[in-house]
Amino acid sequence: MPCSPKNSNKPKGKKYEKVVFLVIVPFLGILLLMVVGIFLVLCKKVENTENEPTARGVDNENLFAIWSYDGKMVYENIIEATKDFNSKHCIGLGGYGTVYKAELPSGQVVAVKKLHSSQDGELANLRSFTSEIRALTEIRHRNIVKLYGFCSHPRHSFLVYEFLEGGSLEKILSNDEATLDFEWTKRVNVVRGIADALSYMHYDCSPPVIHRDISSKNVLLNSDYVAHISDFGTARLLKPHSSNWTSFAGTIGYAAPELAYTMEVNEKLDVYSFGVLTLEVLMGKHPSDLISSLSLSLQLPSSSSSSSSSPHTAYDILLKDILDTHLPPPRNHMEEEVVLVAKLALACLHTSSQCRPTMQQVSVALSKERPPLQNPFHLISLGKLFDVNC
């Protein structure tokens, strides 16, 4: 039918706009959905690529610093990196575990302590395992080794730490070549670092943490000779307002003498061990003979007659005569530093635990400026440094 004249005279704009709206809008909607879909697919692909372990060395991130890291992947990486804990990757042997060096696909190097297992497959040192985890998850300090994570698995149970290139203090002191590089400034800084860490554990942690096994084998150094206390398997968290008793723990030669008749755990156990360790750093060897002689000297009256082999002879030894002979004697300002370190070490070795200083006092003393020596360094005797009074 032909259009009536009335309808044919109407403008066609509105009808055209309606057609355009019905065609273009759905098309734009579909296009927008496609763009969003492609964007999400690309994001997912990038995320998966970032999460994949890679051996190309382009991803140098610390896996353990990522809050959503894949623990299973790290476990498998550690097994692969150590060749299922092959002995060629072993870097140390402890009382309840063996330590391995593991380089992860990301390039990160970690130390892994694999716990010894008994023949029936159960952990022989579960208490040490849990003690170390409890202690290291509560504390953070630049002079305490970092615990990245742990794994409790029927096949392998281990703890993962930061790797410290310098190795143990015991290893350095027993190596003549390494000892030559371990000069007096570095030794004093190591002692200061250990004191700061123990002061933090005893007074800045709640509850306080008592290590109970401070020794040269449990102090690790990085490439800059910064000390890190390690091996918290015997550590105890002190219960406030109660007595803390335990069986013997620690290393013979570093343990406090009162452990022979009491098993009470307190911070003075670490103080004594610190004193032994500090003398070991100064002497370059364990000071067992010197400690025995000094202890006997305190028990004898000074007016008693004695032979040339009497303990009093040891008590009057000059400080310069006990220092590590691998190094020349300290000079200038370092003389005061060494004298103070020796004095604090001897004070920490007092047979009465109440007469020993606290690690907080030791840490503060090592951080303060000191007046010049009143006496020539080479004439200072251990007797003058060993304060027998509380």
Per-residue pLDDT, 222: 96
By the 8 A CB rule, do 172 and 216 touch? no
Of the candidate ranges 119-123, 153-157, 195-199, 379-383, the one whose mean pLDDT is the lowest:
119-123
Q: How far apart are CA 85 and CA 195, in angstroms?
A: 34
Give the confidence band of 2 by pLDDT, cuts at 50, 70, 90: low
Closest to 228 (Cα-Cα) out of 218, 215, 213, 238: 218
β partners of residue 227:
221
User: Percent of the chain, pLDDT > 90?
Assistant: 42
Q: Is residue 330 predicted with pLDDT exceeding 90?
A: yes
pLDDT at position 357: 95
Q: What is the mean pLDDT of the chain?
A: 80
Per-residue pLDDT for 322 more than 90? Answer: yes
CA distance 115 to 94: 9
Percent of the chain whose pLDDT exceeds 70: 74
In this predicted structure, what is the pLDDT of residue 284?
96
Distance CA 374, CA 270 (A): 31
- Of the listed ranges 106-120, 189-203, 239-253, 289-303, the least confidently predicted one is 239-253
Residue 385: what pLDDT? 83
Q: Is the pLDDT of residue 226 over 50?
A: yes
56: confidence class by pLDDT, cuts 50, 70, 90? very low
User: Rounded to whole angstroms, how far apart are CA atoms 369 and 358?
Assistant: 19
Closest CA to 353 of 281, 276, 270, 280: 270
Higher pLDDT, 348 or 94: 348
Is the per-residue pLDDT at 50 higher than 70?
no
**HEC states along 277-320?**
HHHHHHHCCCCHHHHHHHHHHHHCCCCCCCCCCCHHHHHCCEHH
Per-residue pLDDT at 282 exceeds 90: yes
Mean pLDDT of all residues in 117-124: 53
Residue range 64-68: mean pLDDT, rounded: 53
What digits encode the pLDDT tens for the residues 286-315? 999 998 887 766 555 544 444 444 545 666
Is 213 one of the catalytic residues? Answer: yes
pLDDT at residue number 195: 98
Residue predicted with more confidence, 388 or 26: 26
Average pLDDT over residues 125-154: 85
Across the range 213-242, mean pLDDT stands at 85
Distance CA 307, CA 221 (A): 43
Q: Which of 70, 120, 213, 316 is catalytic?
A: 213
Its pTM stands at: 0.76
Tell me the domains of the chain and their CATH numbers.
70-162 (3.30.200.20), 167-301+308-385 (1.10.510.10)
Note the pLDDT of residue 271: 97
Q: ∠50-51-56 over CA atoms, to 5°? A: 65
Output the six-digit token pair for 41: 């697919």
